[in-house]
Amino acid sequence: MNESIESFREKLDNEYDWPALYTFKFIVPKERTSEIKKLFQNHDVIEKVSSNGNYVSITSKVMAQSSDYIIDVYLKANKVEGIISL
């Protein structure tokens, strides 16, 4: 896992000049929405409920200071059961 994290960090650092606006996108089971929204308490969050109502798409644009911040959010988000990171 550390290799994939380091690879992701390298890609982020090559793609972005920090600080930078970064868009997070997740799909979560409807009952887990609040867990993801907690990660973005100080940021706008756009929610879109799936056609059958079981899942919610969550998007948030964040002014990130570094790739470490981005990775930290993904590590926290991945603890939510049933999440799909896009």
What are the tens digits of pLDDT across the range 7-28? 999 999 999 999 999 999 999 9
What are the tens digits of pLDDT across the range 24-51? 999 999 999 999 999 999 999 999 999 9
Per CATH, domain 2-85 is 2.70.98.10: no
Q: Where are the domains of the chain?
A: 2-85
Quick one: tokens of 54? Answer: 């079981």
What are the tens digits of pLDDT across the range 47-69? 999 999 999 999 999 999 999 99
pLDDT at residue 2 in the model: 84
pLDDT at residue 1 in the model: 66
Q: Which amino acid is at 24?
A: F
Q: Give 8: exposed, middle or buried? Use CB within 10 Å, 0-12, 13-18, 19+.
A: middle
Beta bridge partners of 63: 21
pLDDT over threshold 80, residue 6: yes
